[in-house]
Structure 1
Amino acid sequence: MNGQKLSICGVDDPDGFDPVYAEASAFSSWQDELESCQKTTNPSIYSILLSHRPELIEEYTNSGFDLVLAGHAHGGQIRIPGVLNGLYAPDQGFFPKYAGGQYQLGETTMIVSCGLSLKKGIPRIFNPPELVVIDLEPIQ
């Protein structure tokens, strides 16, 4: 970015990730990965975290990352533009808070992609596949 540094780090989303995060050994491993990524952040360098799960935003908030890129919610499967941002999302249930879009918590911005999945048997109503393009501009 015009000679400015950029830091990108990611955490895994292991198969079988238990929805009851606090009781799952996978969550402990995931937290270790997040802490390892946090050690790479520097307040003077714009930092991006790649993490599949938007419902863990409390873990990302003020963690040293300026931007978190997530997915997993499939846009809430069924949307009604201007009325309903999503009917159901994995690990968030009905009327998910983080189905797709941009969210701001503290110093952390999170962008949740609705994704590209077109699996048979899983409807996408008013919820077309989405590939998010983000323009990052250098500080002047």
Structure 2
Amino acid sequence: MNSWARLALGATTTGAATVAYAAGIERRRWTLRETTLPVLAADSRPLRILHISDLHLMPTQHSKQRWVAALAALEPDLVVNTGDNLAHPRAVPAVIAALGPLLERPGLFVFGSNDYFGPTPKNPARYLTKSNRRVHGEPLPWRDLRAAMIERGWLDATHARVELDVAGVPVAAAGVDDPHLGLDRYDRIAGGPTGRPGLRLGLTHSPEPHVLDCFAGDGYDLVMAGHTHGGQLRVPGYGALTTNCGLDRARARGASRWGAHTWLHVSAGLGTSPFAPVRFACPPEASLLTLVPRTVGTSHQSTTPAKAVADVS
């Protein structure tokens, strides 16, 4: 075998091993990311917020359901769900089963495109180019999911301002519908919270800069989003290849500043499209945010891998 043949064989073998790892191991390596952010009013007690996004749940994904349900043991003060829960028209019972114990905690949610429409096969190269073309799959039963969440006590923040007491801290929250589909109507919530809440919280599925600018302009302390999957495929030393939105690659996951006074937290999410079931250098994750008063100053981020559980689906 000549040198070129050996190189070709080696490249093919390495590529096959990478795909096998990305599809068979990485996408089921459930991970908890822990972050501390100084965003609360000076006299507030710390709050623990569990951020869940992009479940893209299929009814047969049992290990994902078990892992999400077990997050209730963290006893968060508030659960925030930033959408894309569904990946199948019969997935609502599976989503409610996964979220079941967490629905006993205070919760807020907005929806994403894959709550409204099912996934479709796409050319992966489309994610590396800018395109306004949207191909929708079959309609999904988002109304059933919304009704089940509301029945259990969670609040729909879509184009609404909501106020709630979270462990003694007054929280003023507002959200928009998914900007990825052009459904955001920030004018419905414009003007910012009134009074002196301990936390001003904004929610959006896709972290489009024009929406983030609106939240920051209205004085929100923290905006939470999903959608990016953290890039889903990351190159070590380079990071995410794409965010699938207008957000820059450096902010594809985790916490960053947006403007002078606002923090942004983007979840890398817990799922993938069933037509692209791979992750590389970007394990599926939920995030536990410890919010502290702004006078504390600095932020700290760490990623804690959970024990991998094989998904037999």
Q: Using structure 2 for the length normalisation, give the TM-score.
A: 0.36
The answer for the alignment partner of 2:52 in structure 1 is none
Please state if 1:86 is matched with 2:251: no
Shift of 1:84: 2.5
Query: RMSD value over aligned CA atoms?
Result: 2.7
The answer for the alignment partner of 1:3 in structure 2 is 168
Q: Which amino acid aligns with 1:111?
A: H
Hey, which bits of structure 1, 4+ residues long, moved more than 6 A? none
Please state if 1:96 is matched with 2:261: no
Gaps of 5+ in 1: 18-25
Q: Percent identity?
A: 31
Q: Which amino acid aligns with 1:5?
A: P
Give the counterpart of 1:124 among 279, 286, 293: 279
Pick closer, same or farther for the CA change 1:131–1:53 going to 2, 3 Å.
same
Pick closer, same or farther for the CA change 1:42–1:84 going to 2, 3 Å.
farther
Q: Distance in 2 between matches of 1:91 and 1:4?
A: 33
Q: Distance in 1 between matches of 2:194 and 2:228?
A: 27
How many residues align structurally?
A: 126
Secondary structure of the residue aligned to 1:136 is strand
The answer for the alignment partner of 2:3 in structure 1 is none
Secondary structure of the residue aligned to 1:68 is strand
Gaps of 5+ in 2: 1-44, 46-166, 296-313
Pick closer, same or farther for the CA change 1:75–1:43 going to 2, 3 Å.
same
Maintained 8 Å contact 1:43/1:64: no
Larger Rg: 2
Q: Which amino acid aligns with 1:136?
A: L
Larger helix percent? 2
Maintained 8 Å contact 2:207/2:245: no
Q: Distance in 2 between matches of 1:109 and 1:90?
A: 21
Shift of 1:14: 6.4
Maintained 8 Å contact 2:172/2:197: no
Q: Distance in 1 between matches of 2:235 and 2:242?
A: 12
Q: Distance in 2 between matches of 1:59 and 1:134?
A: 23
Greater relative CO, 1 or 2 (CA 8 Å, sep 6+): 2
Q: Deviation per CA, 1:88-116: give whole Å up to 9, x if none.
A: 122238x6243111110210000000011
Give the counterpart of 1:33 among 188, 212, 215: 188
